Amino acid sequence: MGSLADMKISHIPTRLATGAFIVNTGIGKLGADDDTAKMLHGMASGTYPMFSSLEPKTFVKGLGAGEIVVGGVLLAPVVPAWLAGLTLTGFAGGLLRMYFKTPGLTQPDGVRPSPQGTAIAKDSWLFGIGLSLLLDGLAERRGKRRKRQAVRRAESLRHHQERA
């Protein structure tokens, strides 16, 4: 895992805003009323049939807990950017799949949101944020690995020169 010192300062606003938003929506789902639970369960079950056997309230509590975990991963400074990005990308990808598969949420072209789908289409932003964190974090890891390899090569070369 990383440390607070390893976190890029440019990631802080993105992770803070996104993480806080997702934690808040998760907390809201923990106390969802029956109608909200049924609506969310119905939408998710249409895309992910494995959820259809769950009771709506149980499903929504699990969804809320999952959102709190995803938001917490983003908020935790010790979680490296690539892992926070991977977590957010996976979460947002699942939401986008539901957006594209739920009838009535997109225009006839199947991409642009209908008035009913506009609120869910915002998950494309979460997907983009997740990919940005993931790619930036992987590039940073690669750079650190290359730097370590260069240091090892230089030490090895110095060691061989000293022996000669």
User: pLDDT (tens digit, 9 = 90+) per residue, 74-98?
Assistant: 999 999 999 999 999 999 999 999 9
* Residue-wise burial string across 63-84, b where 16 or more C-beta atoms lie within 10 A, e elsewhere: bbeebbebbebbbbbebbbbbb
Query: For the chain, what percent of residues have pLDDT higher than 90?
Result: 74
- DSSP β-bridge partners for residue 106: 113
Q: Which structural domain range is residue 144 located in? A: 4-163
Q: Are 75 and 67 in contact (CB under 8 A)?
A: no
15-24, 64-73, 116-125: segment of lowest average pLDDT:
116-125
Q: What CA–CA distances, in Å, run from 136 to 2, 19, 34, 40, 80?
A: 14, 18, 41, 33, 10
Q: How far apart are CA 123 and CA 91, in angstroms?
A: 9
What is the number of structural domains in the chain?
A: 1
Q: What CA–CA distances, in Å, run from 132 to 10, 69, 94, 126?
A: 12, 20, 17, 10
Instruction: Work out the mean pLDDT of the chain and round it to a whole number.
Output: 90
Give the gyration radius of the chain's Cα atoms: 21
Using DSSP's 3-state secondary structure scheme, residue 109 falls into coil
